[in-house]
Each structure stands twice: as C-alpha cells, then as structure tokens.
Amino acid sequence: MRESSDTERHPNPVDLHVGARIRMRRRILGVSQERLAEDLGLTFQQVQKYERGANRVSASKLYEIARSLQSPVDYFFEGLEDTTGGGMAERGEPFVHDFLMTPEGLELATLFPKVSRQKVRRRILELVRSMAAEDAASGLDD
C-alpha cells in the first residue's frame, strides 16, 4: 500500500486552473451548473468537482465542455505557463483559483478586460493596490 503525500491530497495546479476557467466561462454565459451537467450527462455535483479541481477532467469530457460552453478547448488552458520546460504551472496558483472562485473576483476578471483605456486600467490597479496596502497595514481581513 502506498503512503499518501501532501501532493496527493491537493489538486494539481493545472486541474485547479482548468476548473476555474470552466466556472468562469459558464458564469460569463449565464449557464447554471445544473444546465451544464444536464448537457454533459452528469450530475451538478460532478460539475462542482470539476470546477473546484477536485476531479480531473478527461480529454473527451473537456472537449464536450468546450462545445457546450461555445469555446475552443485551449481557452481552458489560457493563463498557464511552462516554467520548467517540462510542465505547466499556473501563475499565482492557488491565488488565481481562489480569486476566480469568488463572485467578486469572477466579475472583476470578466469586466476588467472590457475597460479599453489603459490609463483607466492603471488607475483601477493603483486603487486596488492602495486599498490592499491599507488593509494589510491595519490588519483587516474582510
């Protein structure tokens, strides 16, 4: 019998990223977990597990998900980078996944690219940096 290690208990960063991208695309389209599950012949709990990265999405299921969510398969891998030459790692993982799993994070991620003026995007970023620094200095968590 094999001993379990920490890496076996935590989802793979790629699975977390793909799951977050599934959730983001589904939410952008206004599709419920139940509707996506029905379209895929799954339970909504299975869709939840895919989105959390708790269960790995097979290639064939990812193809079906992409078709159902009207996106190319490579959409679900956008934002990953090859950091070692041999594997993929998510930039900022697990922070990016945690961020996208909140309603506010998902909405920000959806709306921010729609701000076309670079100067405005920079000012938004400066505002968020300032607020984060203020919260960190005061010890605020929420």
> What six digits make up the tokens of 66?
């992409």
**Domain shared by 85 and 133, yes or no:** no
Cβ partners under 8 Å of residue 97, min gap 6? 16, 17, 19, 20, 53, 90
Residue 117 has pLDDT above 90, yes or no: yes
**Domain shared by 19 and 74, yes or no:** yes
* Among candidate residues 135, 14, 129, 136, the one with its CA nearest the CA of residue 77: 14
pLDDT in tens, 64-95: 999 999 999 999 998 886 544 444 444 444 56
- The more confident residue out of 50 and 142 is 50
Q: What is the rounded distance in angstroms from the CA atom of residue 18 to the CA atom of residue 53?
A: 7
**Domain shared by 76 and 31, yes or no:** yes
pTM for this prediction: 0.64
**Domain shared by 35 and 66, yes or no:** yes
pLDDT of the residue at 38: 97
**Domain shared by 33 and 85, yes or no:** yes
**Domain shared by 23 and 82, yes or no:** yes
Parent domain of 124: 103-142
**Domain shared by 91 and 109, yes or no:** no
**Percent of the chain, pLDDT > 70?**
80
What pairs with residue 89 in β-bridges? Answer: 81
**Domain shared by 43 and 86, yes or no:** yes
Range in 32-41, 52-61, 75-84 with the lowest mean pLDDT: 75-84
If you average pLDDT over residues 20-29, what whole number do you get? Answer: 89
Q: What is the rounded distance in angstroms from the CA atom of residue 61 to the CA atom of residue 58?
A: 5
Residue count (the chain): 142
Omega before 72 cis (within 30°)? no
**Domain shared by 72 and 18, yes or no:** yes
Residue 141 belongs to a domain: yes
pLDDT confidence band for 31 (50 / 70 / 90): very high
Number of CB atoms found within 10 A of residue 44's CB: 14
If you average pLDDT over residues 14-40, what whole number do you get? Answer: 92
